[in-house]
């Protein structure tokens, strides 16, 4: 029961982050399989059955552009974040930074100390 609950909450937490990760990763053009590998290499495993429908949804919402091109003798669909997607991604990343800072403050009981630029 606790495992199920944890799993559900974990999935809920990941859901929003995945959109951010996909949009951010698609600042560089990728086709579906390469995108999945790139995300996995950076520690974010994502199931194919979640990723491909998500790509289509983001494209329908105008946040991604796509085009079919031949590569390695096979047609592949390449995705890249659109201008509208980039604008939204920037705002979402700011939002995410804010939430992250607040969460740290709430969980650790003190505000995050920002290092001034140039200090290691």
Partner 1 sequence: MTQVDRYLETVGMFLPERQKNDILSELSDNIRSRIEDREAELGRQLTDIELQDILKDYGHPMSVAGRYQPETGGLMFGKQLIGPALFSIYVRVLGISLLVALAVQVVLTIALELPTDGVFARLMVHVFMQSAAVTLVFVLIQRMAQEHPDQWGWLTGHADVVTRTASLPKISRLESGLQIVLLAIFIAITYQFLSVPDAGIGPFKLAPIWYALYVPFILSMVAGIVQSAINLARPNWVRFHAAAQVGFELFSLTMIGILLAAGVWVTLAVPAEATVAAEQKLVEIVAYMNQTFFYGLLISVAISLYQLVQNVRRYRRLSR
By CB under 8 A, name the binding residues for partner 1: 31-34, 36, 48-50, 52-53, 56, 68, 74-77
Pick 56 or 86: Cβ nearer partner 1: 56
Pick 56 or 80: Cβ nearer partner 1: 56
Q: Smallest gap, in angstroms, from Cβ of residue 43 to partner 1?
A: 19
Pick 45 or 113: Cβ nearer partner 1: 45
Scanning the chain, the segments in alpha helix (DSSP H) are 2-25, 32-41, 48-60, 83-108
Q: Are 67 and 78 in contact (CB under 8 A)?
A: yes
Q: Smallest gap, in angstroms, from Cβ of residue 49 to partner 1?
A: 5
Please report, in angstroms and rounded to a whole number, the separation of the first and last CA atoms in the chain. Answer: 45
Q: Are 22 and 80 in contact (CB under 8 A)?
A: no
DSSP 26: T
Q: Smallest gap, in angstroms, from Cβ of residue 15 to partner 1?
A: 14
């Amino acid at each position: 029961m606790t495992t199920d609950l944890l799993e559900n909450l974990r999935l809920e937490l990941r859901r929003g982050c995945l959109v951010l990760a996909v949009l951010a990763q698609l600042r560089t053009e990728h086709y579906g399989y390469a995108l999945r590998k790139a995300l996995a290499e950076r520690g974010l495993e994502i199931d194919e059955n979640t990723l491909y429908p998500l790509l289509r949804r983001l494209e329908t919402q105008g946040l991604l552009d796509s085009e079919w091109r031949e590569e390695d003798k096979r047609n592949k669909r390449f995705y890249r974040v659109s201008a509208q997607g980039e604008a939204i991604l920037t705002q979402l990343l700011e939002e995410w930074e804010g939430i992250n800072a607040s969460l740290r403050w709430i969980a650790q009981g003190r505000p995050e100390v920002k290092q001034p630029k140039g200090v290691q």
